[in-house]
């Protein structure tokens, strides 16, 4: 049969990545060819897993069967194009349905073969991974896969929107206050307003006001199925940001029986970054989601067990073993523990600030939040790299971005490349020596009152009323520093005045129980701390990754030293 070439895509469809003839020949040996008829479903939304399909002939459509909108065609694929998105590799259920629109033939590659391909074929793995990541971003922008029905005025609904944003989950939010079809949807589902919010996940029963754990389970974001139970693992890493992921990769690659847990989505704060441009080896930059996904796949390749949406709640230690209890009731025993729990963004100190969370105040700038701000003015509060990256990302679609900075300049807290980028972006206006004072609006923020002080000095903590005025904005993105996630430790480990964990030489002032602590080792032997949770750490992704790998080396050093003492 004559190869017609790649099929033209529908407008706004999921990104395509047609394979070359050479790539197709190479991948053909991994699967089997199947003849398929028009109307055949290759995989359906809600399927717990699905194989990789490469179109050899015919046309396949990717569709979203959306509540209240019927069937929406997301993309059409033709010869030498493949189906799927990043969830395929992360043990997540299918987010959409793929159906043949015309008779044809497909190459079907079982998922285990795809996973082996990702680990061993550099060229093809890059092709697949790049396309899968772009498709996930497109799904998030379009809200494909999960439907949330709830009011923006409801705190429970806002908690769910925060969960979806942090886990980078695409969601179609039917807001009771905005969308006209909301009442009709509730009537069709026979759901009273008092039962909101509700979440509909393909292939699952409707969930009424679900908990974080229930949602994570339905979306395949929790413990992978058939996870083996270990009596005592070699290494437990707590926290799945860049530091923790690096520790898991290096620990598992060095032969340590490694488990990684995280209270939310892997990637931490870095995972929500739209663009990281100063990370070594990526001259064009890469998104936090791409960095995270690559690291997760890499850790899995070496045999690390990864569990997200599992929060550590306590730490106890016994001779030669530490035990961490989690909020799902499980307990993990480990010979060594690396704490990489990071830090949470500080909340915006406004009167009634809580009421605006999810209704105009956000602590991350991703596609999920940006879609509410298209062609409207927004404010970004903060003067470090995270604020600069958010401002640049939002400037792509917002009409105007106001960057509010308390300090006298950006040079002391932001990388030079970002300062130059911000200065050259016409949609960004930088307001130095400026603070947010008050937000206002009906249900959602519509304006922000700011105070602009003069260049004179003022005492620490003193709020200078300055010149005050209102800025019309539809959203406020907050990046004003962070507090370490150490409350769960109950002061068991030494900290500095700000609550960050002390390690290595920073513990020299404390009386030593035995040997001096190794670099990155806390006040408890065998327990290490890396990344943003550690005192005096460099708040950069590359530094966190370096600490993750170095800490694993220290685990080996500590084990050898302790054996020598016996």
Q: Quick one: 469 and 503 in the same domain?
A: no
User: How does 42-81 read in b/e, with b if 16+ C-beta sit within 10 Å?
Assistant: bbbbbbeebbbbbbbbbbbbbbbebeeeeeeebbbbbbbb
User: How does 174-189 read in b/e, with b if 16+ C-beta sit within 10 Å?
Assistant: bbbeeeeebeebbeee
Is pLDDT of 5 > 70? no
- pLDDT tens figures, 334-343: 999 999 999 8
- pLDDT tens figures, 493-509: 999 988 899 999 898 87
> Of 78-82, 268-272, 414-418, 451-455, where does mean pLDDT reach its minimum?
451-455
- Asked if 141 contacts 371 with a C-beta cutoff of 8 angstroms, the reply is yes
What pLDDT is attached to residue 349? 77
Following CA atoms 173, 174, 175, 178 in sequence, which dihedral angle do they give, to the nearest 10 degrees?
120
Q: Quick one: 288 and 360 in the same domain?
A: no
Inter-residue long-range contacts of 130-135, CB under 8 Å, 24+ positions, other chains counted:
130/17, 131/15, 131/16, 131/17, 131/82, 132/84, 132/85, 132/86, 132/88, 132/89, 133/86, 133/287, 133/289, 133/290, 133/293, 134/14, 134/15, 135/14, 135/15, 135/84, 135/85, 135/86
**pLDDT tier for residue 370 given thresholds of 50, 70 and 90:** confident
Question: Is there a domain that residue 330 lies in?
Answer: yes
- Asked if 47 contacts 95 with a C-beta cutoff of 8 angstroms, the reply is no
What pLDDT is attached to residue 326? 93
Q: Quick one: 265 and 337 in the same domain?
A: yes
What DSSP state is assigned to residue 89?
Answer: G
Boundary of a domain, candidates 191, 218, 245:
218
Q: Write the DSSP assignment of 109-155 as a string of letters.
A: E-HHHHHHHHHH-HHHHHHHHHHHHHHHHHHHHHT-SEEEEE-TT-H
Question: Is there a domain that residue 14 lies in?
Answer: no
Q: Which residue has the higher pLDDT, 329 or 394?
A: 394
What DSSP state is assigned to residue 179?
Answer: -
What pLDDT is attached to residue 352? 65
Q: Quick one: 238 and 337 in the same domain?
A: yes
Q: Which two tokens stand for residue 529?
A: 């701390």
- Asked if 468 contacts 435 with a C-beta cutoff of 8 angstroms, the reply is no
Q: Which two tokens stand for residue 288?
A: 């936090």
Is pLDDT of 128 > 70? yes
- Asked if 518 contacts 554 with a C-beta cutoff of 8 angstroms, the reply is yes
Q: Quick one: 490 and 505 in the same domain?
A: yes
Rounded CA-CA distance 423/409 in Å is: 12
Domain tally for the chain?
A: 4
Q: Quick one: 498 and 560 in the same domain?
A: yes
- CATH number, domain containing residue 520: 3.50.50.60
- pLDDT tens figures, 51-80: 999 999 999 999 987 765 667 888 899 999
Rounded CA-CA distance 323/312 in Å is: 10
User: Going by C-beta distance under 8 Å and a sequence separation of 6 or more, which residues neighbour residue 344?
Assistant: 482, 483, 485
Q: Quick one: 115 and 85 in the same domain?
A: yes
- Asked if 167 contacts 264 with a C-beta cutoff of 8 angstroms, the reply is yes
Rounded CA-CA distance 559/335 in Å is: 9
What pLDDT is attached to residue 166? 74
- pLDDT tens figures, 505-541: 898 877 766 678 899 999 999 999 999 999 888 878 8
Rounded CA-CA distance 311/459 in Å is: 39
What DSSP state is assigned to residue 10?
Answer: P
Q: Quick one: 408 and 457 in the same domain?
A: yes
Q: Quick one: 396 and 452 in the same domain?
A: yes
Q: Quick one: 449 and 532 in the same domain?
A: no
Q: Quick one: 426 and 468 in the same domain?
A: yes
Q: Which residue has the higher pLDDT, 91 or 127?
A: 127
Is pLDDT of 461 > 50? no
What pLDDT is attached to residue 441? 86
- Asked if 382 contacts 353 with a C-beta cutoff of 8 angstroms, the reply is no
- CATH number, domain containing residue 183: 3.40.30.10
Among candidates 92, 309, 97, 306, which has minimal Cα distance to 219? 92
Boundary of a domain, candidates 107, 132, 157:
132
Q: Quick one: 393 and 473 in the same domain?
A: yes
Boundary of a domain, candidates 218, 243, 277:
218
Domain that holds residue 309: 233-344+483-565
């Amino acid at each position: 049969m004559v190869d017609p070439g790649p099929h033209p895509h529908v407008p706004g469809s999921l990104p395509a990545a047609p394979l070359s003839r050479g790539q197709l020949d190479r991948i053909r040996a991994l699967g089997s060819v199947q003849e398929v008829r028009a109307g055949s479903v290759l995989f359906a939304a809600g399927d717990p897993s699905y194989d990789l399909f490469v179109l050899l002939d015919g046309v396949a459509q990717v569709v979203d069967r959306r509540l209240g909108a019927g069937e929406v065609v997301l993309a059409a694929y033709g010869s030498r194009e493949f189906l799927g998105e990043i969830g395929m590799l992360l043990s997540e259920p299918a987010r959409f349905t793929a159906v043949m629109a015309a008779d044809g033939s497909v190459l079907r590659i079982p998922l285990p073969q795809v996973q082996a391909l990702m680990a061993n074929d550099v060229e093809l793995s890059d092709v697949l991974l790049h396309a899968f990541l772009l498709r996930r971003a497109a799904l998030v922008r379009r809200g494909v896969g999960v439907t949330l029905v709830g009011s923006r005025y409801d705190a429970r609904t806002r908690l769910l929107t925060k969960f979806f944003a942090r886990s980078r989950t695409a969601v179609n939010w039917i807001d009771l206050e905005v969308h006209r079809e909301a009442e009709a949807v509730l009537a069709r589902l026979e759901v009273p307003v008092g039962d909101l919010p509700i979440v509909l996940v393909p292939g699952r029963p409707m969930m009424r006001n679900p908990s974080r754990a229930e949602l994570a389970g339905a979306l395949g974001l929790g413990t992978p199925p058939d996870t083996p139970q270990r009596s005592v693992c070699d290494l437990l890493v707590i926290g799945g940001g860049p530091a923790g992921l690096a520790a898991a990769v290096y620990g598992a690659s060095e032969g340590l029986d490694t488990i990684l847990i995280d209270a939310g989505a892997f990637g931490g704060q870095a995972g929500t970054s739209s663009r990281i441009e100063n990370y070594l080896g990526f001259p064009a930059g890469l998104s936090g989601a791409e960095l995270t996904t690559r690291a997760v796949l890499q850790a899995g390749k070496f045999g690390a067990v990864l569990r997200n949406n599992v929060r550590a709640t306590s730490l106890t230690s016994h001779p030669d073993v530490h035990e961490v209890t989690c909020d799902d009731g499980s307990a993990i025993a480990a010979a060594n523990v690396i704490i990489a729990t990071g830090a949470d963004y500080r909340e915006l100190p406004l009167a009634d600030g809580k009421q605006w969370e999810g209704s105009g105040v956000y602590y991350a700038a991703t596609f999920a939040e940006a879609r509410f701000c298209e062609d409207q003015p927004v404010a970004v509060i903060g003067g470090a790299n995270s604020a600069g990256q958010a401002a640049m990302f939002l400037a792509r679609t917002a009409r105007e971005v106001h960057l509010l900075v308390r300090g006298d300049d950006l040079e002391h807290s932001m990388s030079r490349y970002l300062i130059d980028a911000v200065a050259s972006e016409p949609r960004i206006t930088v307001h130095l020596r400026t603070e947010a004072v008050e937000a206002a609006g009906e249900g959602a923020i519509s304006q922000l009152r700011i105070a602009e002080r003069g260049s004179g000095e003022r005492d620490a903590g003193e709020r200078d009323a300055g010149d005050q005025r209102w800025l019309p904005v539809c959203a406020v993105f907050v990046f004003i520093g962070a507090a370490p996630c150490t409350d769960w430790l109950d002061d068991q480990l030494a900290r500095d005045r700000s609550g960050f964990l002390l390690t290595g030489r920073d513990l020299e002032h404390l009386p030593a129980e035995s040997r001096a602590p190794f670099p990155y080792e806390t006040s408890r032997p065998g327990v290490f701390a890396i990344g943003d949770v550690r005192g005096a750490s460099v708040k950069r992704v590359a530094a966190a990754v370096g600490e993750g790998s170095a800490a694993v080396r220290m685990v080996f050093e500590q084990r050898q030293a302790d054996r020598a003492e016996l």
